[in-house]
A and B are shown apart, each in its own frame.
Chain A
Amino acid sequence: MISPVKVWRRQKTIRDLLGKEGVIITWTKIFTPPPQFKHIAPYVIVYVKLENGQNICAQLVDCFDSISTYEGKRVVVTLRKLRESVSDDVIPYTIACKLL
Chain B
Amino acid sequence: MKSHIIGYHTTQFGELWEKSLFDLVEETIDGVLKNTHIELGKIDAIFFGNMLGGILENNLHAGAKIADIFNISIPIFRVEGACASGGMAVHLAQEYIQSGKGKTVLVVGAEKMTDVQPEHITQGLISAASGEEQECGMTFPGLYALMARVYLKKYRYDKSNLAAIAVKNHAHGFLNPTAHFKRKVSIQQVLESSTVADPLGLLDCSPVSDGAASLIVTSDPAFIKKRGGITVLSSQVATDSISLLKRNSLTELKATQIAANKAFSESKIVRKNISLAEVHDCFTIAELFAMEDLGFWKKGEAGKRAINFETLRENNGPLIINTSGGLKASGHPVGATGIKQLGELYLQLTGRAEKRQVKNIKYGLAHNVGGSGGTAVVTILGV
The answer to whether A and B assemble together is yes
A contact residues vs B (CB 8 Å cutoff): 10, 25-38, 40, 43, 45, 47, 54-59, 71, 82-83, 92, 94-96
Instruction: Say yes or no: B194 contacts A28, CB within 8 Å.
Output: no
Task: Give the distance to chain B from A10, nearest Cβ to Cβ, in Å.
Answer: 7
Let me know if A30 and B131 touch, CB within 8 A.
Answer: no
CB-CB contacts below 8 Å: B133-186 with A: 133-139, 141-142, 145-147, 149-150, 153
**Contacts of B136 on A, CB cut-off 8 Å?**
45, 57-59, 82, 94-96
Q: Which of A27, A47, A58, A71 has the most CB of B within 10 A?
A: A47
Complexed CA–CA distance, A35 and B119 (Å): 5
Residues of A within 8 A of B119 (CB): 32-35, 38
Cβ-defined contact, A28 with B137, below 8 A:
no
List the A side residues contacting B147 at CB < 8 Å.
26
Across-interface contacts of B122 in A (CB, < 8 A): 32-34
A-side contacts of B199, CB under 8 Å: 28
State whether B197 touches A43 (Cβ < 8 A).
no
Least CB separation from A34: chain B residue: B123
Query: Whole-angstrom distance between the alpha carbons of A94 and B131 in the complex?
Result: 11
Q: Does B242 interact with chain A (Cβ within 8 Å)? A: no
Partner of A94 from the list B126, B135, B200 (CB cut-off 8 Å) is B135
Interface residue from A10, A47, A58, A59 paired with B146 (Cβ < 8 Å): A47
Partner of B138, one of A10, A45, A96: A45
* Chain A: minimal CB distance from B360 (Å): 42
Complex Cα gap A58–B134 (Å): 10
Q: Which 4 pairs show the lowest CB-CB distances between chains A and B?
A: A28-B145, A37-B137, A34-B123, A29-B198
Is the CB of B244 closer than 8 A to any CB of chain A? yes
CB of A11, distance to nearest CB on chain B (Å) = 11
**Inter-subunit contact B132/A57 (CB<8 Å):** yes
- The distance from the CB of A45 to the nearest CB of chain B, in whole angstroms, is 6
Tell me if B316 is interfacial: C-beta within 8 Å of chain A.
no
Q: When the two chains form their complex, are residues B133 and A29 in contact, meaning their CB atoms are under 8 A apart? A: no
Do most interface residues of chain B lie in helix, strand or loop, or is the interface mixed?
A: helix
Does B149 lie within 8 Å of A27, measured CB to CB?
A: yes
A–B complex contacts, Cβ < 8 Å, 7 sampled:
A28-B198, A28-B200, A30-B137, A31-B194, A34-B137, A35-B119, A95-B136
Beta-carbon contact of B137 and A45 below 8 Å: yes
Q: Complex formed: what's the CA distance from A31 to B195 in Å?
A: 7
CB contacts (< 8 Å) of B123 on chain A: these are 34-36
Closest approach, in angstroms, between the C-beta of A28 and any C-beta of chain B? 4
Contact B246 A55 (CB under 8 A): yes
What distance in Å separates the Cβ of B32 from its nearest Cβ neighbour in chain A?
Answer: 35
Contact A30 B138 (CB under 8 A): yes
**With A34-B126, A47-B146: A26-B250 Cβ-Cβ less than 8 Å:** yes
Query: Whole-angstrom distance from the CB of A94 to the nearest CB of chain B?
Result: 5
Q: Does B118 contact A (CB under 8 A)?
A: yes
Task: List the B residue with the shortest CB-CB distance to A2.
Answer: B135
Contact of A33 among B137, B200, B244 (CB under 8 A): B137
CB distance from A62 to the nearest CB of B (A): 15
User: Known contacts A28-B199, A35-B123; can you find 19 more A-B pairs with CB under 8 A?
Assistant: A25-B150, A26-B250, A27-B146, A28-B200, A29-B198, A30-B138, A31-B195, A32-B141, A34-B134, A35-B117, A35-B119, A37-B137, A40-B137, A55-B244, A55-B245, A57-B146, A57-B244, A83-B137, A96-B136
User: Which residues from chain B contact A95 at a C-beta distance below 8 Å?
Assistant: 136
Q: Are A32 and B137 in contact (CB under 8 A)?
A: no
A10–B139 CA distance with the chains assembled, in angstroms: 20
The answer to whether A26 and B146 touch (CB under 8 A), given A34-B137, A57-B138, A57-B245, is yes
Expressed in whole angstroms, the Cα–Cα distance for A30 and B140 within the complex equals 10
